[in-house]
Amino acid sequence: MPYDFDAIIDRVPTNSIKWSYRRELAGREDLIPMWVADMDFAAAPEIAEAIRFRAAHPVYGYPGRPDAYFGSFRAWAQRRYGWELARDWTVLVPGVVPALNLALNAYTEPGDGVVIQGPVYHPFRQAVERNGRRVVDNPLRLVGTRWSMDLEDLERKADAGTKLVILSNPHNPVGRAWSRGELAALAELCARKNLVVVSDEIHADLLEPGARHVPFATVSADAAARSVTCHSASKSFNIAGFNTACAVIPDPGLRARFGTMVARFALGTPNVFGLVAQEAAYASGEPWLEELLVYLRGNYERLREALAPTPIVVHPLEGTYLAWLDCGALMLDDAALKRFFIDKAGVWLDEGIKFGPEGSGFMRMNLACPRATLDAALGRIWDALEALPGVDLV
């Protein structure tokens, strides 16, 4: 491997929300943090070099919207997803979550219904509620360990006041990479109900072997015409701190309404280093990403092997680097489950209930860390399980 994903990098002095605030946010300084979705790996050296080169120029004024950035992203989308993008479809935004909020203001009014498919990334619900819209819960279906969309439920719930669906593709936290057939079925329903689809595709490049990312906008001409695709290199290349993303909006009318909101909230000026980092990622970061995916798969297999003798069930992972752990057999309520991992195991995970009531009894684990960190966390979890009354380890 030309890249060292085993390197242990001290992030405590870097004002890391994940490492530097363990006592303030979780009550213990010695926790192994495996919650928020950023990586403990050094970014691709090509990105670091591009940042150094730009930083060497001592003036950091307002940047424009360079053709080189858009060109690298369009080439990436064509190469990785078979998606042909027009130059003017892409609108720069300071992040995927801001893009969700902009879309809510662009395409809905207070009181309108907005569909979310729980358990799902918690800022979806927060964005709907904080903007005075009505959450339309369309929970995913779980059969065994496989999650799927419940479109029959959505058909019943999408009334005349429902205007928009927020899609997680690949899905965070359950790890599904939705198939073309699944997305086409959703698109057909949305066409009949006249729903705009805002698709969060920030994890598009973080796929397990055999999985393929299908952008929602590519399943049909109608899907493209009613879609806003939120995309960023931030998760795939560990550059979230640059706060740079884009919204891909093929339809001119939807794009104009979105642009009006970008102007209203004065969010149109991009981050000077974010543009540099993302251009370098798309233009030169692919070899690093391919090696990363191999390493992440190794971490997932290590997790499955370590927890196989325990009551914790690791759900299949097709996309993201976030493992979804079914802890229901531990017979702990959600508050007790959180305290078990914090107080007994010393491992800081995201509690499943954070992603909606459908996440009750689950925990989400970030696998984007050196294997030694993962092994240390698994050892702590094993020891804590051994001490838990009523738990038998095979």
- Is residue 280 domain-shared with residue 359, that is, in the same domain? no
Predicted confidence band of residue 1 (pLDDT cuts 50, 70, 90): low
Residue 345 in contact with residue 327, Cβ under 8 Å?
Answer: no
| Residue 394 belongs to some domain of the structure | no
pLDDT averaged over the chain? 96
Domain harbouring 243, CATH code: 3.40.640.10
Residue 348 in contact with residue 377, Cβ under 8 Å?
Answer: no
Domain boundary among the residues 255, 284, 313 is at 284
Domain boundary among the residues 230, 251, 284 is at 284
| Residue 54 belongs to some domain of the structure | no
pLDDT of residue 391: 78
The whole-number average pLDDT for the span 148-170 is: 96
Q: Between β-strands 162-168 and 196-200, what pairing exists: parallel, antiparallel or unpaired? A: parallel
Cα separation, 131 vs 48, whole angstroms: 37
DSSP class per residue in 297-347: HHHHHHHHHHHTTSSPEEPP-SBSSEEEEE-GGG---HHHHHHIIIIII-E
Predicted confidence band of residue 130 (pLDDT cuts 50, 70, 90): very high
- Is residue 372 domain-shared with residue 295, that is, in the same domain? yes
Predicted confidence band of residue 393 (pLDDT cuts 50, 70, 90): confident
Which residue has 């080169």 as its token pair? Answer: 53
pTM: 0.96
Mapped onto helix, strand or coil, the DSSP state of residue 147 is: strand
- Is residue 272 domain-shared with residue 376, that is, in the same domain? no
- Is residue 263 domain-shared with residue 185, that is, in the same domain? yes
Instruction: Give the range of the structural domain holding residue 370, as residue numbers without chain letter.
Output: 12-44+286-386
Cα separation, 225 vs 305, whole angstroms: 44
Predicted confidence band of residue 161 (pLDDT cuts 50, 70, 90): very high
Q: Which residues contact 238 (CB under 8 A, 6 or more apart)?
A: 38, 39, 41, 42, 43, 368
Cα separation, 59 vs 67, whole angstroms: 21
Domain boundary among the residues 256, 284, 312 is at 284
pLDDT of residue 310: 96
- Is residue 188 domain-shared with residue 300, that is, in the same domain? no
Q: Which residue from 106, 68, 64 is spatially nearest to 87, judged by alpha carbons?
A: 68
DSSP class per residue in 202-254: TTTT-B-TT-----GGGS-HHHHHTEEEEE-SHHHHT-GGG--EEEE--SHHH
Summarised one tens digit per residue, pLDDT across range 5-37 is 999 999 999 999 999 999 999 999 999 999 999
- Is residue 132 domain-shared with residue 33, that is, in the same domain? no
Residue 89 tokens read as: 């479809």
Q: How many of the other CB atoms lie within 10 Å of CB of 322?
A: 25
- Is residue 316 domain-shared with residue 203, that is, in the same domain? no
Mapped onto helix, strand or coil, the DSSP state of residue 119 is: coil
